[in-house]
Amino acid sequence: MCEHCGCRQIEPIAELMDEHFHLLELGEEIQRQLAGGNRYAAWTVLGQFADELSHHVDREERGVFQALKDQGDFAEAVVDLEGEHADFDEAISDLGLDQADLEAKVADLLGHLTLHIDKENLGIFPIATVTLGSSGWDTVATAHHSHDHKHTHEHHHASTSA
Provide the binding-site residues for Fe ion, judged by CB under 5 A.
60, 120
Contact 95, 50 (CB under 8 A): no
Identify residue 123 by its one-letter amino acid code. G
Cβ nearer to Fe ion, comparing 46 with 120: 120
Contact 7, 22 (CB under 8 A): no
What is the DSSP secondary-structure string of 9-47?
GSHHHHHHHHHHHHHHHHHHHHHHHHHTT-HHHHHHHHH
Cβ nearer to Fe ion, comparing 33 with 59: 59
Contact 88, 27 (CB under 8 A): no
How near is the Cβ of 80 to Fe ion at its closest, in Å?
Answer: 10
Cβ nearer to Fe ion, comparing 109 with 120: 120
How near is the Cβ of 133 to Fe ion at its closest, in Å?
Answer: 22
Cβ nearer to Fe ion, comparing 120 with 136: 120
How near is the Cβ of 153 to Fe ion at its closest, in Å?
Answer: 25
